[in-house]
Amino acid sequence: MKKTLTAAITTALVIGAASTTFAAANPFTDVPTGHWSYDAVAKLAQDGVIEGYGDGTFRGDKAITRYEMAQMVAKAMAKSDVSAADKAAIDKLAAEYSAELNNLGVRVGELENKVDNVKWGGKARLRLDSQSDETSSTVLGDNSYSHAYVDLWATAKINDGWVAKVEHETEKNMRNDSTNTDEDTKVFVEGKLFGADATIGKFGAFSKDGLVIDKGVSGAKFAFGNELKTVITAGRLDIDKVAGDSAAQDYQAIEFSYAINDKSSVNAGYHILKDETIKALEDKNLKIWEIGFNTKLGQDWAFVADYAKSNLDVDKDTSYFTQIQYKAADVKTEGSYDVFLNYRQIATDAQIAQTWGDYSANQKGWALGFDYVPAENVNFQAFYFDGKDVDNTDAKTKFVRAQVELFF
């Protein structure tokens, strides 16, 4: 009588909590004490995969119900870092208690989501650069340097609509074993807000092809639209546009992109940097507008073109970038590759923080290179750049880069 009453009460509680319809087989039937699953669960408990009851114990000397067994199996299924042998045992247990696990579907899903709540990833890079500048009487190879770079990120689910992200980048000069000053950490959240895709915190701002800006911004970004996509960004960034001026500056931008068809799109943008030093010199804030176009030419070819112009009263107030590319390297596809040829002019006053780095600052010239994927998640890139100073065409630069990137 007592056992019957206990089973009835337990059944009522579980049905009320889970709101599920149980299979024809009674899930509260005791698993026979000689059943093979006891040994399997005991081994999983010994390996630390299963914690047993809520008090952390596994009462292997007592009979338990199929429902209780399924609960422990569900917890084991939510673990990802288990040995092959334990994984095989979990799969066998899951098949044995499939009906009970099906009734626990919501709870199992919650457990799996909790285990997978934080996702990790990143990229490691080894880079070798070699540069010559004719005005300094050097030859190619005299000014060579290597860098090791690591980019780590973590994404944590807050709820069904929002995630939190952390990214840390650090770069080390391998030649003199010193850490570069561009070490950076970004922390931000992403989710839906007022019908837009919102990003709030310190995040990366990247204009079309990085011609105008590729820099961390502390503020907010809102993106909305499908075929015509609009992105509005407002915040502050640390930038040294004028020598000795490294204070945080106000930055705002509005960018548009429109998909003409499945192969071609156009873009436009307007960027404002409220730099106090520039304003003191020019009596105005730096304002840059940009337009761009990209298209696929047949199956294997792609073409991009971008143009930017600033409002400052200087001789060189325009930047542009154009590139034609054959094939497309994919880090998930071993053996994939691409070859590219581009021409660019990067005027100092027609960009905020362009993506190519110091070797391309205030330079115009062409670059020829390729990407190759020797193995999944491994990319090798090499290119040669031949350029001239935008303000002094007699100052020529030759630059070679080779790097390997590992994605994880």
Query: For 28-77, how does the pLDDT look when each residue is reduced to its tens digit (9 = 90+)?
Result: 566 777 788 888 888 888 888 876 554 444 444 456 788 888 888 888 88
Model pLDDT, residue 244: 46
Q: Which residue has the higher pLDDT, 373 or 181?
A: 373
The pLDDT tens digits for 7-30 are: 443 443 343 333 333 333 455 566
Q: Which three-class secondary structure state does DSSP give residue 10?
A: helix
Strands 196-206 and 214-224: antiparallel
Here the tokens at position 251 are 């930055």
Strands 318-327 and 301-310: antiparallel
Beta carbons of 48 and 56 less than 8 angstroms apart = no
- Which amino acid, 48? G
DSSP state of 159: S
Residue 231 to residue 213: CA distance in whole angstroms: 14
| 229-267 burial code (b ≥16 CB/10 A, e <16) | bebebebebebebeeeeeeebebbbebebeeeeeeebeb
Smallest Cα–Cα separation from 151: which of 176, 178, 127, 117? 127
Beta carbons of 111 and 75 less than 8 angstroms apart = yes
Model pLDDT, residue 140: 42
> Which residue matches tokens 């119900």?
65
**Greatest pairwise CA separation for the chain in angstroms:** 101
Smallest Cα–Cα separation from 208: which of 347, 307, 340, 302? 307
Q: Domains of the chain, with CATH numbers?
A: 2-115 (no CATH), 118-407 (2.40.160.10)
Please check the confidence at residue 166 and state whether its pLDDT lies above 90.
yes
Q: Which residue has the higher pLDDT, 23 or 84?
A: 84
Residue 153 to residue 176: CA distance in whole angstroms: 27
Mean pLDDT of 121-148: 76
Residue 293 to residue 4: CA distance in whole angstroms: 75
Residue 7 to residue 14: CA distance in whole angstroms: 11
The proportion of the chain whose per-residue pLDDT surpasses 90, expressed as a percent, equals 50
Residue 25 to residue 66: CA distance in whole angstroms: 10
pLDDT band of 147, cuts 50, 70, 90: confident
pTM (predicted TM-score): 0.71
The pLDDT tens digits for 358-378 are: 888 889 999 999 999 999 999
> What is the rounded end-to-end Cα distance, in angstroms, of the chain?
59
Helix (H) or strand (E) holding 40: helix 36-46
Alpha-carbon dihedral 365, 303, 327, 366, rounded to 10 degrees:
0
Here the tokens at position 19 are 């709101």
Model pLDDT, residue 113: 56
Q: Measuring CA to CA, how many Å separate 75 from each of 13, 89, 159, 360? A: 20, 13, 21, 54
Top mean-pLDDT range of 29-33, 87-91, 242-246, 274-278: 87-91
Please check the confidence at residue 106 and state whether its pLDDT lies above 80.
no
What are the φ and ψ backbone dihedral angles of 31, each rounded to 5 degrees? -75, 125
Model pLDDT, residue 358: 82
Please check the confidence at residue 294 and state whether its pLDDT lies above 80.
yes
Mean pLDDT of 341-365: 92
Average pLDDT, the chain: 82
> Which residue matches tokens 């000053």?
181
